[in-house]
Structure 1
Amino acid sequence: MARILVIEDEPALLKVLDYNFKHAGHEVLLAPSGEDGLRLARERRPDCILLDLNLPDVQGTEVCRSLQMSSETRDVPIVIVSARGDEVDRVVGFELGAIDYVVKPFSVRELLLRVGAILRRARATSGERRAAAFGALRIDEEAHRVWVDGREIELTLLEFKLLVALYENKERVQSRSALLDGVWGLDVGITTRTVDTHVKRLRDKLGRAGDYVQTVRGIGYRFADSPEPAESRVD
């Protein structure tokens, strides 16, 4: 059983999600506004958050940003559930740190399966503490924390997953499609350009350690085999 927080202002949809997730064995927290959602997220520490973008008080994008900025909630997987289905909206959602994006109207059964997959992946990676050091970079996988030259770097959940995926496969080239598959894990209806966007943001945040993430022209990316500065990097 997991604790699911639903931040949604449509009463009928709240009722449907409440019923179906409880029927699947989960505890459900309901928030009809952004402020209620932020308060419940801090107080009850959910295992997953379903977030609408159109809320009566605070835009869902701001709620997502606030959740990602807080040390208490930044590791909670966020699934955006929105009527906005354009690629640009999905890309913005992922850039803000959402782990998945579901467009209304949607299949409740599919949403249950998506959330179930997210929760299983979270449990699979939380059992054993793993820390890694590579040159100026240090990664604590269990705590979802990253440091460069001893200074902690704030990454979104997707940026962190991308960094770990690259690091764990260092010296091996990973195509954009493979990264999209491995990091996002589901068919989210976005293009491989999203990978490029996230890699650029990740490099920028990592500063000099961003050089460890190398571009392989026409294929994808790889993590450096040595912490020595790369001679060149293609953005």
Structure 2
Amino acid sequence: MQTPTNYKILVVDDDPDIVELLHYNLTREGYEVAQAENGKKAIEVAHTFKPNVILMDVMMPVLDGIAACRHIREENEFRQTHIIFLTARAEEFSEVAAFDAGADDFITKPIKPRALLSRLASYARRDAQQEEQEKVIEAGGLRIDRTSYTVFKGEQKITLPKKEFELLAFLAATPNKVFSREELLNSVWGSDVYVIARTVDVHIRKVREKIGEDNIKTIKGVGYKFNTD
């Protein structure tokens, strides 16, 4: 089970005051912390540090957070890494852009340390719970392996970022049951993670692009289900 003493957080921000604030609060809580001042440096540090969570600003010099997130999500070794954006920009289009790039969460500044720590603890708990769940799901022509975070469609291996994988695995674990967007947000992202319902639509679209259109069905006005009919 993941605990703060073996849970790694990479803090990425060009504001030294924010980095210092986060470093102080995270280390005091027992997390192992590394830091980077821009997206380019974050990618370099991530390769050696192997973080469980990346807390990353959006607007940074050299390489911004959106571009860095896209680059990180292209690498298989970071499929299980949570990426949480920290930004002063709260417009919905910025939030959608962040999730489209592969982010798991979106926190607006000014940062409230206690709320952030609660959210991180929630991520650690869910990671621990997933370790104890059924390891392999076979449904709808897919083999979903929670241990290796891999999906196979026949002989084809499909790579999904962590949140896309978790969303697919959650739906496939109860095939043909319809879940509302709110239920999916609460179950996959957690009830204490404040993201918009549009987040589910973005992730469903990206999953469909990779596994095909047939497995996840939209129930108009209700939500989604994993289809085996």
Deviation at 1:110, TM superposition (A): 0.6
Indicate if the aligned counterparts of 1:94 and 1:158 stay in contact, CA closer than 8 A. no
SS state of the match for residue 158, structure 1?
Answer: helix
Deviation at 1:189, TM superposition (A): 4.5
Task: Name stretches of at least 5 consecutive residues in structure 1 with no aligned partner.
Answer: 227-235
1:213 lines up with 2:204 in the alignment: no
Q: Normalising by the residue count of structure 1, what TM-score does the alignment of the two structures yield?
A: 0.88
Matched with 1:23 is 28
Amino acid at match of 1:77: H
1:157 lines up with 2:162 in the alignment: yes
The Cα offsets for residues 66-107 of structure 1, whole Å up to 9 and x where unpaired, read as 111111222111111111111111112122222211001121
For 2:183 and 2:94, how far apart are their aligned partners in 1? 22
Indicate if the aligned counterparts of 2:140 and 2:227 stay in contact, CA closer than 8 A. no
Greater C-alpha Rg: 1
1:112 lines up with 2:135 in the alignment: no
Amino acid at match of 2:49: R
Deviation at 1:13, TM superposition (A): 0.8
Deviation at 1:170, TM superposition (A): 1.2
1:123 lines up with 2:128 in the alignment: yes
Aligned-CA RMSD value: 1.7
Matched with 2:46 is 41
- Change over 3 Å in CA distance of 1:49–1:148 after alignment to 2: same
Task: Name stretches of at least 5 consecutive residues in structure 2 with no aligned partner.
Answer: none
Amino acid at match of 1:214: K
1:7 lines up with 2:12 in the alignment: yes
Matched with 1:233 is none
Which structure ranks higher in relative contact order (CA pairs < 8 Å, sequence separation ≥ 6)?
2
Q: Normalising by the residue count of structure 2, what TM-score does the alignment of the two structures yield?
A: 0.91
- Change over 3 Å in CA distance of 1:129–1:189 after alignment to 2: closer
